[in-house]
Amino acid sequence: MNDDNFSVQDSFRVIQSMIDKAKEDFADNAFFSLLWGWLVFFAALGQYILREIIHYPHHYLVWLLMIPGGIISIIYGYKFGRRTKVKTYMNEAMSFFGIACGVSFSILSLVFSYSNAWHFAFPVYLALYGLCSFVSGAILRLQLLRWAAVICWAIAIISIYVGYDVQLLLMAASAVTAFIVPGYVMRAKKRKQLA
């Protein structure tokens, strides 16, 4: 199709097909959403149990689960990238956005470790969960992710006013909201499309 015959409707169709492809890839990548959702959920809940019920002095060590999670993500992402035959602008944008979020969370972990300001960590992480969900929802035009972002932001605000123990429970709840539920919904939609 030459430029003279490329109408506004054709442009919209191309953009919509790119968004649909990115949504399809997001459903294929529900693995990442579920992996990180369950890791954060179990780490937050695990730290709560170790700290508040068992009174283990090194309760924070449960967050070391994120290290194998990162390794698994890198390996899976590399393999998935090699299997993907067609790469669109949306695919690359979502991929780079995911990498940027991961790097940002890692840097913040170092900052909070160095400054020993863990009481402020969870409100910041929750706000970033909201940001990641909102931007992903906006790019992919997925209302569910935008609502997840709003919930995460509300939880982030609440977490400012509560103790560290409650923040851990709020972090577990936000993992369900921002990662686990969207991951399962997208996986179910993908299976329904294939059926």
User: What pLDDT, in 10s, does the model give residues 156-189?
Assistant: 999 999 999 999 999 999 999 999 998 898 888 7
Please give the pLDDT value at position 23. 61
- Name which residue leads in pLDDT, 45 or 76: 45
Confidence of residue 1 (pLDDT cuts 50, 70, 90): very low
Confidence of residue 96 (pLDDT cuts 50, 70, 90): confident
Cα–Cα dist 98/116, whole Å: 26
Cα–Cα dist 127/133, whole Å: 10
CB atoms within 10 A of CB 65: 15
Cα–Cα dist 97/138, whole Å: 12
pTM greater than 0.85: no
Coil, strand or helix: which one is 39? Answer: helix
Q: Averaged over 129-139, what is the pLDDT?
A: 88
Neighbour-count burial for 8-37, b at 16+ CB within 10 Å, e otherwise: eeeeeeeeeeebebbbbbbbebbebbbbbb
